């Protein structure tokens, strides 16, 4: 087989693979989630296996501990979140009224400049406020009532733990089977590339997960102590979204400051919310990210954002799960291709004639 034929073959294989992922994107979600969790838990399992000399027992302990921690977190967090949501829904009319009291003086001043349009603007603002609240609750209701969404949630809750357990137990066998499929002539090169990809993924995914967890706890506790309604929920959402560079902190800051302006009449309490975000950014930038993620993972923030948006647009939530690994793979392959190009006659300008 010539070099050109090999290239055509592998391009066809990759295109066929991604086409299959696209067609089966709704079915693959719990399986991909299981692979991600198994990859995340494998280092701890391997270390425990070395002490216990039993992979099955190590998997049972690590996996059982992970499930227990998740259940405890749900049992502790869910009642608080439910209480905050209930209070928030009850206080929505109060928030709208308080917001209106702050907007009304501005509209009164506008009468001096736009006497014929002030009343129309007033009605428009009131209509938009009411419509925004109704739209938000209607959207949440539609998302929760969709059978596909419910099916995905059920499959994640039931199938993902099973897939995670069996993959974690047979992780080494799984990896060995994949390595056995490598073309013999290129096996060393492929192993080297996979090692680089693993270094990037382990540094980014596992490190970023710890960053997200730390930020979620920090903002949830800080905003709750500041007395902000939905402080716990907003803090946890910031942590969950922090894997997208700049998005979690920006969205959380805008939401928290906006809610504090409506909820609090004292501007100093809003200043406390701003200080919490300032401290959170200092914590993330100066300690969490450098210590837990590192600066040499090879994934620039802009590249990660593009990968996540592209993955979400093409494959939905499944695309979000596979976006970073695919970005890491592409990054390693591009750097490998550039290095080969710089060694070639095309780059060096050598004449082979």
Q: Where are the domains of the chain?
A: 188-337
Q: Is the pLDDT score of 60 beyond 50?
A: yes
The pLDDT score that the predictor gives to residue 294 is 62
The proportion of the chain whose per-residue pLDDT surpasses 70, expressed as a percent, equals 81
As a whole number of angstroms, the distance between CA 30 and CA 35 comes to: 9
Sorting pLDDT into bands at 50, 70 and 90, what band is 57?
very high
Q: What average pLDDT score do residues 14-37 get?
A: 84
As a whole number of angstroms, the distance between CA 197 and CA 298 comes to: 10
Q: Is the pLDDT score of 267 beyond 80?
A: yes
152-187 tens-digit pLDDT? 666 777 888 888 999 999 888 888 888 888 887 778
Q: Is the pLDDT score of 262 beyond 60?
A: yes
Question: Which stretch of 57-61, 134-138, 283-287, 295-299 has the lowest confidence by average pLDDT?
Answer: 134-138
Give alpha helix (H) positions in 180-230.
Answer: 187-201, 207-225
Q: Is the pLDDT score of 117 beyond 80?
A: no
Sorting pLDDT into bands at 50, 70 and 90, what band is 8?
confident
The pLDDT score that the predictor gives to residue 147 is 46
Mean pLDDT of the chain: 79
Sorting pLDDT into bands at 50, 70 and 90, what band is 345?
confident
Q: What average pLDDT score do residues 139-154 get?
A: 54
More confident residue, 247 or 107: 247
More confident residue, 75 or 266: 75
The pLDDT score that the predictor gives to residue 65 is 93
Report yes or no on whether pTM surpasses 0.75.
no
Sorting pLDDT into bands at 50, 70 and 90, what band is 132?
low
Token code pair at residue 173: 């066998």
């Amino acid at each position: 087989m010539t070099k050109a034929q090999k290239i055509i073959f592998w391009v066809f294989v990759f295109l066929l693979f991604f086409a299959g992922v696209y067609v089966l994107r709704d079915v693959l979600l719990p399986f991909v989630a299981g692979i991600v969790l198994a990859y995340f838990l494998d280092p701890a399992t391997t270390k425990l296996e070395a002490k216990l000399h039993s992979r099955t027992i190590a998997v049972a302990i690590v996996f059982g501990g992970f499930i227990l921690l998740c259940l405890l977190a749900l049992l502790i967090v869910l009642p608080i979140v439910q209480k905050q949501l209930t209070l928030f829904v009850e206080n929505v009319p109060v928030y709208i009224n308080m917001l209106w009291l702050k907007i009304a003086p501005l509209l009164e001043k506008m009468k001096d400049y736009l006497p014929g349009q002030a009343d129309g603007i007033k009605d428009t603002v009131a209509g938009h406020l009411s419509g925004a609240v109704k739209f938000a609750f209607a959207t949440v209701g539609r998302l929760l009532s969709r059978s596909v969404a419910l099916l995905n949630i059920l499959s994640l809750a039931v199938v993902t733990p099973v897939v995670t357990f069996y993959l974690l137990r047979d992780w080494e066998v799984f990896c060995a089977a994949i390595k056995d499929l490598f073309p013999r002539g290129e096996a060393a090169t492929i192993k080297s590339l996979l090692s680089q990809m693993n270094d990037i993924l382990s540094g980014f995914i596992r490190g970023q997960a710890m960053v997200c967890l730390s930020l979620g706890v920090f903002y949830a506790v800080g905003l709750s102590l500041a007395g902000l309604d939905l402080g716990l929920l907003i803090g946890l959402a910031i942590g969950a979204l922090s894997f997208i560079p700049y998005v979690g902190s920006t969205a959380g800051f805008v939401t928290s400051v906006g809610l504090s302006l409506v909820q609090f009449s004292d501007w100093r309490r809003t200043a406390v919310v701003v200080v919490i975000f300032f401290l959170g950014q200092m914590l993330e930038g100066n300690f969490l990210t450098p210590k837990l993620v590192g600066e040499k993972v090879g994934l620039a923030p802009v590249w990660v954002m593009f990968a996540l948006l592209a993955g979400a647009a093409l494959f939905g939530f499944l695309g979000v799960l596979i976006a970073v690994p695919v970005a890491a793979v592409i990054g390693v392959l591009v750097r490998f291709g550039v290095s080969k190009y710089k060694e070639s006659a095309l780059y060096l300008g050598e004449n082979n004639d």
